[in-house]
Chain A
Amino acid sequence: MSGSPSPPGAGIFLTVQAWGRDFALPIGCARSVFRIEALTRAPLAPPWLLGLANLSGRLTAVVCLNRRLWPDAPPLGAGSLAVAIELGSDALALAVEDVRGVVEAQNLLSEEQSAPGLGALRLGRRSATILDVRALFDSRSAQAA
């Protein structure tokens, strides 16, 4: 076992867009990308928790990345793209405006430590904030700014 870990966030990322901005998810947590066909509303849930989707027979909780990051952002829903994510035994999905692609990041811009991101990576002339996936799906964590 190596005792010298890689720097936080280095590796391969899936980049997505929310409200016109770029974000990156560690590729290891993304299982697939799909289009949301139908959603069951989650009563009494925070506005960013869109509801439940049936993803190949699995009950999947769908979170709207727009609303999770900015309470005033336009909500996503049925018809939007989503990234299926598995955290522990939970089947989850993140609704996004667009899926940009997969990038391998070496040079991280680690100064941008703003919640819920863990840092940022350079995408050509733009930068993408790395998302803390666990915090995004934690309904107890404070609303991200």
Chain B
Amino acid sequence: MNELFRDFLAESVEQLEALKAQLTEERLADREACRDVWRRIHAIKAACGLLNLPRLEALAHAAETLAESLGDVAGPKDAAASLMLEAIERMGYVVVNLSYGGGEGRGDDSALIARMEAAAAPSAVSWQAACDGPPLLETPVDQASTPPERRIDNLRIPLKSIERIDALVSDLIVTQNRLLLIAAREQVAPLREPLRRLAAIVGELQSEALAARLQPIGRLFANQQRLALDVAKDLGRQIQVAFEGGDAMLDRQMFGAVREALAELIRDAIDQAIEPPEERRRLGKPEAGRILVSARAEADQAVIEVRDDGRGVGDPSGRSQGGVAFARAAIEDIGGSVAWEGRPGEGATTTLIIPLAVAAVSALVVEAGADRFVVPRRVVGDLVMLDSTGARLEVVQGRLFLRAKGDCTPAARLSAMMQSPGRPTPEASQVGLLMGAGNRRFAIVVDAVTGVQDLMVKPLPGPMRHTTLFSGAAILQDGSPAFVLSATGLADTLGVDARRTRLLVVEAVQPFQRMLERTLTEAGYEVQFAATMNEALDALIHSPQFDGVLANWNEAASAEIWTRRLGAFGKAGSVRLPDSTDDGSEGADARGFACVAGEFDRGGILDALRAAGLGSGWKSAA
């Protein structure tokens, strides 16, 4: 039995068990429940075609159609749910039979399928009657012939058990921390050694529990490659599939949804996007279509991209039921998001963003008003006290920036962002956290940093997924829950753009160029040099991508002329010339144009840029 098949069986057993529980509890009560049932059955059906399992596929198809047709019927649908349960049990028989190596088993499902079809048909006079239908005549599987002692050879621990173990470990940590506090307070010396040993055991247990949850994304790739090649063969396409970044770790809880989403995206790319070989030849493309699946871990999320070199057209939401829309539903269910971007004629990229969810993280515990939050240390670049290091908050054009260590970063006060109750802390005792999400930099200002703790971050319960500002929650050492800040969510809310501010710098002298380059790059700017204003003008004509121009005072002496010329490019309005040329760092106040004079003055240059509305190298979208 190959790995793909084993995985399919194990996955199907999990899906069918979940469906059984769901149908028993909820009886297809609402549209959401029907959609969920549809999604699970659809996942099984999708794999059946590839694995050549016609019996299971026919059952799944009928059950899927039934679930879909019931989406608009209000209230619990007991008769339909019972019929669906019947189908689930039958599918379960087939799966069990397959796992024993006995093929799909003997039996005739036509009556069951006919009843499901009748119940799903829009013209059915009464689906209740159809569901109740004639009694089941066919024999599903000869169960007596199934050897009871045999087991599926890959043992899977149900996620529920892992979650229970996690909860117990969390509880154990909380209890241990209470004991530590008591032992410290009461100064119970004989407890010291056993408690130290307990801490070591709990730490190891926590790591093991975590290891049971995390798996490299690459494990998903092996199956996808095979699926892709099978689909391509069926559809008469030639493809090359490549995978990269399989080392990124993902919570097992996410695997099912990601596997489904990837399978559908790859199938969709081959079916809809990659042109047939002859068409590709005509278009001057290599005959074999290319699909690249790449994964990477970002601050607090995993990013998987599926890139193809096909048609690059199509409505991402309606491209096909099983494609991007399907992936979006599956990934949104686990708190992630999906984006699709097409380049007509060149191909398309679908990006899946998946929360890392459960993970043991070393985190800062911070206070904002009366609230406490957790910030994973890996997203914090630096901490600055607002009183001691010359770090301060500044408002530039209505936006808050943290100016620290020569850099100016878009910032926000966490207590304001979270509408935290409690008395505001004086600014002088606040702390700035310089943070990063991918290549975006920003700062949040908190009232206090109260400590560093190793915590288990868990996904938020359903109703808490109302904001992208949190990537999960954790139980602090004192037993209270706290929300974990999402660096990506904060950057989005702050409107921090990944693109840097691009400056055209007019400077002919090489040593100055080097100094300017270092200063400006450190502050986040992208820099290109022009030796003269004429050259700068030429650069602007050919590349209108610059956000502003920085000119040396001498070069800008005829600034009025240049202002008019630059104005034509939307780079500057009216430039107010400084009153005297010996004032080291005077700057023009027009947006997009800054001129500096005199000796090299790092602070002066950055000030002049800020005065010209080019305040931070890290561009803000707002």
Contacts and interface: CB of A to CB of B under 8 A. Distances in A.
A135 interface: yes
A41 B370 CA distance: 10
Given A43-B371, A59-B458, A89 B159 contact: yes
Contacts of A51: 481
Interface string A45-76: 11001011110111111010000000000000
A3 B79 contact: yes
Contacts of B171: 56-57
Interface in A122-145: 132, 134-135, 137-139
Q: Which of B78, B370, B461 has the most CB of A within 10 A?
A: B461
Interface residues of A, number: 42
B475 A90 contact: no
A29 B25 contact: yes
A2 B78 CA distance: 11
A139 B463 contact: yes
Nearest to B25: A28
B462 A45 contact: no
B479 interface: yes
A112 B81 CA distance: 23
Interface in A102-119: 118
A91 B459 CA distance: 11
Nearest to B172: A57
A5 B27 contact: yes
A52 B169 CA distance: 18
A59 B461 contact: yes
A8 B481 contact: no
A29 B30 CA distance: 16
A59 B32 contact: no
B419 A44 contact: yes
Contacts of B463: 45, 49, 61, 63, 92, 137-139
Q: Which of A1, A4, A49, A92 has the most CB of B within 10 A?
A: A1
Interface in B398-438: 418-421
A32 interface: no
B174 A54 contact: yes
A57 B79 CA distance: 39
A53 B481 contact: yes
A108 to B, nearest CB: 13
B32 A134 contact: yes
A6 B86 contact: no
Interface in B457-481: 458, 460-467, 469, 473-475, 479-481
B26 A134 contact: yes
Contacts of A52: 461, 464, 473, 481, 483
A33 interface: no
Interface string B86-106: 100100000000000000000
Interface residues of B, number: 59
B524 to A, nearest CB: 29
B435 to A, nearest CB: 18
Given A1-B85, A52-B473, A59-B473, A134 B461 contact: no
B170 interface: yes
B234 interface: no
A49 B22 CA distance: 24
A68 B100 CA distance: 50
Q: Which of A4, A51, A53, A63 has the most CB of B within 10 A?
A: A4
B109 to A, nearest CB: 14
B49 interface: no
Interface string B187-214: 0000000000000000000000000000
Interface string A1-21: 111111010000000000000
A5 B79 contact: yes
A72 B458 CA distance: 33
B163 interface: yes
Contact of A41 (B174, B371, B460, B461): B371
A118 B76 contact: yes
A60 B170 CA distance: 13
B303 interface: no
Nearest to B373: A43
Contacts of B86: 1
A88 B253 CA distance: 13
A57 B133 contact: no
B29 interface: yes
7 contacts: A38-B479, A49-B464, A59-B461, A90-B461, A90-B462, A135-B30, A138-B32
Given A42-B466, A51-B481, 20 more contacts: A3-B79, A5-B81, A38-B479, A38-B480, A40-B480, A41-B370, A41-B371, A43-B483, A45-B466, A46-B466, A52-B461, A54-B480, A57-B171, A59-B458, A61-B462, A88-B462, A89-B160, A90-B461, A118-B76, A139-B463
Interface of A: 1-6, 8, 28-29, 38, 40-46, 49, 51-54, 56-61, 63, 87-92, 118, 132, 134-135, 137-139
**Pairs of residues from A and B, 9 with the lowest C-beta to C-beta distance, nearest first:** A5-B78, A57-B171, A61-B461, A57-B170, A52-B481, A43-B418, A57-B167, A90-B461, A3-B132
